[in-house]
Structure 1
Amino acid sequence: MKDSAVELAGYRLPRIGFGAMRLPTEPGEERAASIGLLRVAVDLGVRLVDTAHLYGWGANEELVAEALSPYADGLLVATKLGIEQRADHPDGMVYNGSAKFLRAQVEDALRRLRVERIDLMQLHRIDPEIPVAEQVGTLRDLRDEGKLGHIGLSEVDTAQLAEAREVVEIASVQNRYNILDREHEAVVDACTAAGIAFLPWRPVAAGTGGETAVIAEIATELDATPTQITLAWLLHRSPVIAPIPGTASPAHLADNFAAAALDLTAEQYERLDGLATAGRK
């Protein structure tokens, strides 16, 4: 039987969270719908909402605060930092892990989220030009100053995770991972062994789940949707996994959260596990 909750940043949370990245933030009816959806998510029982400075360059954080502040007891709002908007760069952005930039981003995030402390701040990407220890060391200092509660990482390998853990306790890792994309299998295993929450982004392989025969078959067996099956597989994969699927649809939101109630048999899990496209590392 899978665990029904995950420990993260001092919270005990239901294992299906919500990724706010996809929500429209522009003024008008779509923004109003985004605010309504966030409130519906909390009413459903979602207790982990994930945002980032990168999502709209702060607009998504402001949306989350407008919808949910003051925050309900037990609700963890996690955000991310470390990417700088740069119009002069071909990608429009660069990784920036300098102490000056990270400190400025924390101050901006505190203001946008309307809090005095961010309970989970995640380094969105590691800046390859700055030592890992220096970047997480800045976040450790901000934690010690009371501005951050816990520290997470995103898109790291096992070596980077180990290096960061030598400097500060790491509460979570957020890497791309789903039933058909197992590139970070070794990171999942490392997090499982250390009791570090693993928050897979893109937890559903977009556009492929329903077309995969095994997933479709098991969805029929359990009277569930293919998306629910892929989320259920993640929950069975490791007790530290807490998916953060995103959607702008209230119906899909409810379906995603309901996936936590699905119980796969050992035989069903093994059939799904065999779908890996990038074997275990």
Structure 2
Amino acid sequence: MKKNISILGVPMDLGQMRRGVNMGPSAIRYADVVERIEKLGYTVHDMDDIEIGKAERLHDAESNLRNLKAVADASEILASKVNEIVEKGDFPLVLGGDHSIAIGTLAGISKHYKNLGVIWYDAHGDLNIPETSPSGNIHGMPLAASLGLGHETLTNIGGYCPKVRYENIVIIGARDLDEGERELIKDRGIKVYTMHEIDRLGMTRVMEETIEFFKDRTDGVHLSLDLDGLDPNECPGVGTPVMGGISYRESHLAMEMLAESGIITSAEFVEVNPILDDKNKTADVAVSLMCSLFGEKLL
């Protein structure tokens, strides 16, 4: 991986309805993310947090979207900042914030690659569009928006669409999918490793297949890791916990194998909510996983 890492915080809580996830970047910094990554030999530039607009807390009945303008405005700012990071040759590490931030992250990254791959490490598919979303929460829509599906205000962040192709996505850890998401996955042949596959195959094989899947078809791979992908016993500080998730050790193995593969070119860690957490446990897990991703080993 690149030896220069730029960290960017996105204190976003407008993509969902539970307060506190806007403090995620602060909690991750409190868990010594900069210091721990620097100990691995990287040069880390903390760009601080982008500014998020005032919460509208509105539900537009016509679009079935909450806080559309505020989320879109923040996504444009984020896309511009991430674009700057990539242009100067650094590895972008984005700290959330709810998962709606992936719309802006991918908009800033994808333009630099001809064939970007995406690993979506998450309990959810985040493939809803306004017509299929039960809640209107945009944090359940970022992958769909990045595919060019949904409201044009979100799909056109960064001035282009789409950001990623169906055949360049691998979802890992899914165990809570809405009906519209299941139909889209089946219709478009999106590659998904549910908890059934992880339990049956084991994380080693899942990651071997994922790495092999991306190796010849992409020129970069973005990791979008939602902490609710892990079991809530491991990560209690998330807004939408789903029982029966990936274990702490399985997740470390996944990050270690990605580090060895060298395929990851950007990453974001999202949905850390310290209000719902236990002594900053979820932020600590997030930082530990980042360190594994950047090559930390016991020996």
TM-score grouping bracket, smaller chain normalisation: 0.3 to 0.5
Q: TM-score, with normalisation over the residues of structure 2?
A: 0.37
Task: Work out which of the two has the higher radius of gyration on C-alpha atoms and give 1 or 2.
Answer: 1
Q: Which has the higher contact order (CA 8 A, sep 6+)?
A: 2
Q: TM-score, with normalisation over the residues of structure 1?
A: 0.38
